[in-house]
Amino acid sequence: MSQSYDVKDLSLAPAGLNRLHWAEREMPVLRLIRERFGKERPLEGMRLSACLHVTTETANLMRTLQAGGANCVLCASNPLSTQDDVAAALVTEYGIPVYAIKGEDNESYYRHIAAAIDHRPHITMDDGADVVSTLHSTRREALADVIGGTEETTTGVIRLRALQQEGQLAYPIVAVNDANTKHFFDNRYGTGQSTIDGIIRATNTLLAGKTVVVAGYGWCSRGIAMRAEGMGANVIITEIAPLRALEAVMDGYRVMPMLEAAAVGDIFVTSTGNMNVIDMPHIERMKDGAMLANSGHFNVELNLDALVEHAVEVRQPRASVQQYVLPDGREINVLGEGRLINLAAAEGHPSAVMDMSFANQALCAEFMVQNHESLENAVYGVPKEIDDQIAALKLHAMGIEIDTLTPEQEHYLNSWSIGT
C-alpha cells in the first residue's frame, strides 16, 4: 500500500495557506469558475490525477477541481518546482493527497507519478505528459479507467502528437497550451517575467548592459527577449526556423548561430524544447563567468553531462548556481541545475497569468466529462467558446470594457457585395 501523501513537512502548511490565499486574489476567473463548480458539481464522481508544478496557483486549481466534485491527487511535474509549504497546505487544509518534495531525486519523482496513477484516474491533467507517457508504457492496466485528459505545456503537446501519430494514444486529450488565452499570455508574459525573475533571484546580476542570448523565438522565448531588453540588455536570438528568425530580426534583435553568439554572450537562456542547444563546442567559446539558464520544460537543453566531463572542479557559490571550472580556468555558471529556471529559482509565472491557464484546465476537465463519449483518441484544441469566455471574463475582472459591433458593422462584415 502506498502512503496517502508524500510531502516535505506538514508543519509548513500555515505558510502555504497564507500564500495560496494571496495568489487567489490575482485569480478572479478561476474563482468564478470555482463558485459555479461548487453549485453545479460538473466533476462529481471523477477521480483526477494531476501532475503539475506544485505552486500556489496550482493549489487554487486543485481547490476548483475539488469544488467541482473531483476526487483529486497531485504529484510534481518537475523535481525542483515544488513549493513545499503549498504541498503541505493542500494535504492538511484541503485533504488532497500530494506527492511532491522540492529537490526529489529521479527515483522519488517517478514513485510519485506511480502514486498518482495508483489513484486510478478517470481524468489525467499533465504538464509535460509524464503521466500519459507512464500510463502508455509501464502502467497500461490503468488506462482502462481513463476517459480523457488535459495537457498544459508546449513540450507535452508535442509528445502527445507524436503518440497520436504512431496510432498509440489511448484516450482523448485537450491541448490546453493551444488556447489563445494560454500561450499568448502564460508562455509570453508569464515565462518572460518569471524567467528574468529566476535569473535575478539566482544571481542578483544586473541585466542592463549585458548581452543576453535567447535560444529560440517561440512564444516563451519572445517573452524572455522582450523582458530582457526592457531591463536594458542587448539581446541576441538564435533560431533554426527561418520564419521565426525573420520575425526576430524585424522585432529588432540580432540573430546569429549559437556558435557565434557563444563568444559574445554574458547570459544564455534556452527555451526551445530541444536537446543540447548549448553544447561543448559553444561552451568552449564562452567568456569567463558566462551564465547558462534553461526555461524549457526538460533539463536537456544544456549539455550538462559534457560540461561535467570537461570541468576540473564544480563549486556552489550561491544556492541556485553551480560553477564549473574548465581546464583553462574559465568559470561557467549553470543556474538551477539546468531545470526550468523560473520555477527552480523563483515561483513560476505570476498568479494573474496562471488564472487564465488554469481556467482553461478547469473548463477543459468539465468539457472532457461532458464530451468524452463522442471524442476519438486524439489531441484536441480547446473549444473556441471556452477560449473566448476566458478572455471576456478576464477583461471584465480587470474592469476593462470594449466596444461591440453595431448592426450596420455586423452586416458589413458579413457581406461580400459592399466594395469601393
Residue type for 326, please?
A: L
Cell of residue 398, nine digits? 480587470
Measuring CA to CA, which residue among 185, 195, 190 is closest to residue 346? 195
Nearer to ligand ADE by Cβ, of 112 and 349: the residue is 349
Closest chain position to ligand ADE (CB) = 348
Between 282 and 349, name the residue whose CB sits nearer to ligand ADE: 349
Least distance between ligand ADE and beta carbon 195 (Å): 10
CB of 153 to ligand ADE, least distance (A): 8
Task: Answer for the pair 131, 113: CB distance below 8 angstroms, yes or no.
Answer: yes
Residue 20 or 248 with smaller CB distance to ligand ADE: 20
Q: Which stretch binds ligand ADE (CB under 6 A): 53-61, 177-185, 323-331, 375-383?
A: 53-61
Specify the stretch interacting with ligand ADE by CB under 6 A; choose among 52-60, 97-105, 130-138, 155-163: 52-60
CB of 351 to ligand ADE, least distance (A): 7
Q: Strand, coil or helix: what is 88?
A: helix
CB of 79 to ligand ADE, least distance (A): 14
Buried b (16+ CB within 10 A) or exposed e, 234-271: bbbbbbeeeebbebbeeeebbbbebebbbeebbbbbbb
What is the smallest separation between the CB atom of 81 and ligand ADE, expressed in angstroms?
A: 7
Question: Of the candidates 196, 341, 348, 379, which one interacts with ligand ADE according to CB under 6 A?
Answer: 348
Q: Which residues pair with 340 in a beta bridge?
A: 294
281 Cα distance to chain centroid: 29
Using left for φ > 0, alpha for ψ between -120 and 50, and beta otherwise, residue 147 falls in: alpha
55 near ligand ADE, rule: CB under 6 A? yes
- Please tell me the distance from the alpha carbon of residue 232 to that of residue 40, in angstroms, as a whole number: 49
| Residue of the chain from 57, 266, 355, 366 that contacts ligand ADE (CB under 6 A) | 57
Contacts of 390 (CB under 8 A, 6+ apart): 29, 179, 181, 356, 359, 360, 363
Closest separation in Å from C-beta 161 to ligand ADE: 20
Does 361 interact with ligand ADE (rule: CB under 6 A)?
A: no
User: Considering the rule CB under 6 A, would residue 349 count as an interface residue with ligand ADE?
Assistant: yes
Q: How far apart are CA 273 and CA 158, in angstroms?
A: 9
The count of chain residues that interact with ligand ADE, using the rule CB under 6 A, is 8
Q: Hey, which residues between 265 and 304 contact ligand ADE (CB under 6 A)?
A: none
Task: Give me the least distance between CB of 298 and ligand ADE, in Å please.
Answer: 14
102 binds ligand ADE (CB under 6 A): no
Q: Which residue in this structure is represented by grid cell 509565472?
A: 349
- Does the footprint of ligand ADE cover residue 84 (CB under 6 A)? no
354 contacts ligand ADE (rule: CB under 6 A): yes
> Min. distance of Cβ 302 from ligand ADE in angstroms?
19
Among the candidate windows 54-62, 157-165, 177-185, 204-212, which touches ligand ADE by CB under 6 A?
A: 54-62
Q: Which of 34, 37, 42, 58 binds ligand ADE (CB under 6 A)?
A: 58
**Binding window for ligand ADE (CB under 6 A); candidates: 47-55, 97-105, 294-302, 397-405:** 47-55
Can you tell me which of 19, 31, 34, 53 binds ligand ADE, judged by CB under 6 A?
53
At which residue does the C-alpha cell 455586423 appear? Answer: 410
> 148 vs 156, which CB is nearer to ligand ADE?
156
Instruction: Name the CA radius of gyration of the chain, rounded.
Output: 22
Q: Compute the distance between CA of residue 302 and CA of residue 307 in angstroms, rounded to an integer.
A: 9
DSSP bridge partners of 173: 149, 379
Strand 379-380 relative to strand 123-126, pairing: unpaired
- Grid coordinates belonging to 226: 522582450
Stretches 48-56, 108-116, 128-136, 196-204: which one binds ligand ADE (CB under 6 A)?
Answer: 48-56
**Residue 26 interacting with ligand ADE (CB under 6 A):** no
* C-alpha angle 202-26-64 in degrees, rounded to nearest 5: 105
CB atoms within 10 A of CB 26: 18
Q: How far is CA 179 from CA 129, 290, 346, in A?
A: 17, 36, 25
* Residues near ligand ADE (CB under 6 A): 52-53, 55, 57-58, 348-349, 354
